[in-house]
Amino acid sequence: MPLLDHVAPCPYCYNDIDLRAVDFRCLGRPAPGRPVCPKQVDPIRRRKSGDLNAYYPAFTPPGLTVVSGRGLFEHRRAKCPRCFGETGIRLCPQCHSRIPEGFAGDSPLFGLVGPRSAGKTVMLAVLLRELATNGPVARRFGHVITLCDGGPSDGQGVDLRAVLTNMEDHRLLPDQTLAANEHSNKPVVFEWKIQREGLGKVIGDYKSTVFSFYDAAGEGLASDERALSRTYLLATDGAILLLDPFSFPNNSGAPAVANQQVETAPEVVLQAVTQVLRQGEGTKANRRIKQPVAVVISKIDAFFGNVGQASPIRRPSSKLSFFDEAESASVHDHIGSMVRSWGGEGLLGSLDMNYANYRLFGLSALGHEPDYAARRIDPRGLAPHRVAEPLLWLMAERGFIQRQG
Ligand SMILES: Nc1nc2c(ncn2[C@@H]2O[C@H](COP(=O)(O)OP(=O)(O)O)[C@@H](O)[C@H]2O)c(=O)[nH]1
Ligand SMILES: [Mg+2]
Ligand SMILES: [Zn+2]
Ligand SMILES: [Zn+2]
């Protein structure tokens, strides 16, 4: 079995994890006659994610890599050296985040990149709702999708749920400063499970894949201060580039712009991303980047009035349990002409020149324009439009969901 099958970047810290050499956490269930291990602050978690919660001890099992008759294998269980209790809680050796059950050597890492105010936080919060066990995507595919937190104060789960509740119950948009400080360095990790048939890794009765999103600001990617974003992007298997429609030259007069911090031109963001991806893939100057990139126009609700009712841009996503290739291609073409009409030829040209596999999308997390100045969403509430589509495309590219059309 090739070595690389066991190695994949940690969904929380992006360092490579060798699944044959993971750490474990004691479950606090000692063998008969042994005292319970005490809970303590985990120094690695404190250092890596500022986590001050008390945990049962973490340990590295002895005899890390065992060569058996069948070859090298992955540790799924270990015995606590102190209390001799068995545990199946696997940890990333670098950051001590809990490794999701279905995490495997082929678990994808997806990047979400966009300039400030492009709508990343709102989109991720709404995506959380769309992907939830009873949400439309899980129902559409008959799958179970769960959010995994590496620890109680790890991952964006807690923060994103708060963002979602604020929007649903109080019609409030996330605060910009808070968003920048609190959400920036924490990835969102989902585990997507399919019952038996289909592709993927087999875990018990499920085939499962784990994917991680990192919310990276695009404008600073080229500079060193964004080291983590760069590390992350270098490790990704696919990226979603979220672009604000109001940042295109011909939309600068839109009333919405007055109340938004539109700062970075789409080309500038794309340039920074391209530079990092080229470096990551070692792409020669005359070759195109292979990694699939979903180029997504957010806030598309604000432009519904400019296209006919029957336009593919306004039509809702398919309800069928496969990725609809024809539908997606038609949205791609229509978004392409829209971007051109906004003065985005430069962007499209640069995509053609640098990317072997990119696809255009248009989505709206809110579904209706908010009151930008008051930071309140429309009284009709959330009406997400095509929010999961870029992710579904990336999953289809990986062969995890089927495509047709
Ligand atoms: N019309 C419209 N505006 C949106 C939508 N999503 C976000 N916005 C606007 O964009 C602003 C920035 O969104 P946010 O998610 O905080 O951007 P981030 O900086 O990329 O995380 C919000 O405060 C809203 O005013 C949407 O789906 N439709
Ligand atoms: Mg944000
Ligand atoms: Zn890690
Ligand atoms: Zn123990």
Q: Which domains does the chain have, with CATH numbers?
A: 3-91 (no CATH), 109-404 (3.40.50.300)
Which ligand 1 atom minimizes the distance to the CA of 122? 15
Tell me the best of 122, 127, 167 to mutate to test the pocket of ligand 1, counting ligand atoms within 8 Å of each CB and taking the most. 122
118 lines ligand 1 (CB under 6 A): yes
Q: Which residue's alpha carbon is nearest to atom 28 within ligand 1?
A: 299
Q: Tell me what percent of the residues of the chain surpass a pLDDT of 70.
A: 85
Does the pTM of the predicted model rise above 0.75?
Answer: yes
H helical segments located in 20-135? 43-49, 120-131
Residue 176 confidence (pLDDT) above 80: no
pLDDT digits (tens, 9 = 90+) for 81-103: 999 999 999 999 999 999 998 88
Question: Are β-strands 293-297 and 358-362 bridged in parallel, bridged antiparallel, or unpaired?
Answer: parallel
Average pLDDT over residues 11-40: 93
User: CA–CA distance from 131 to each of 35, 65, 139, 388 (Å)?
Assistant: 42, 36, 9, 8
How many Å lie between the centroid of ligand 1 and the Cα of residue 375? 9
Would you list the DSSP string of 111-162? EEEE-TTSSHHHHHHHHHHHHSTTSHHHHHHT-EEEEE-SSTT-SSHHHHHH
**Is the pLDDT reported for residue 386 higher than 90?**
yes
CA separation for the pair 111, 118 (Å, rounded): 15
Cα–ligand 3 centroid distance for 159 (angstroms): 20
| Residue of 44, 392, 403, 23 lying closest to 211 (CA atoms) | 392
**Residue 217's pLDDT is what?**
66
pLDDT for residue 159 is more than 50: yes
The finding on whether 301 has its CB within 6 A of some atom of ligand 1 is yes
Name the residue with the closest Cα to ligand 1, atom 12.
Answer: 117
Q: Give the pLDDT score at 197.
A: 57
Instruction: Pick the more confident residue, 401 or 186.
Output: 401
Q: Calculate how far, in angstroms, residue 319's C-alpha sits from the geometric centre of ligand 3.
A: 36
Centre of ligand 2 to C-alpha 191, Å, is: 22
For 30-39, the CB contacts below 8 A with 24+ separation are: 30/80, 30/83, 30/84, 30/85, 31/83, 31/84, 31/85, 34/82, 34/83, 34/84, 34/85, 35/83, 36/83, 37/80, 37/82, 37/83, 37/85
The CA-atom distances, in angstroms, between 60 and each of 37, 39, 64 are 16, 17, 8
Residue 170 has pLDDT above 70, yes or no: yes
Over residues 205-212, the mean pLDDT reads 76
pLDDT at 33 over 50: yes
pLDDT in tens, 276-290: 888 877 878 889 999
C-beta of 331 in contact with ligand 1 (< 6 A): no
- What gap in Å lies between CA 398 and CA 403, rounded to an integer? 11
Residue whose Cα lies nearest atom 7 of ligand 1: it is: 119
**Which pair of tokens denotes residue 95?**
């950051």
* Residue-wise pLDDT tens digits, 98-145: 999 888 888 888 888 888 889 998 999 999 999 988 899 999 988 888
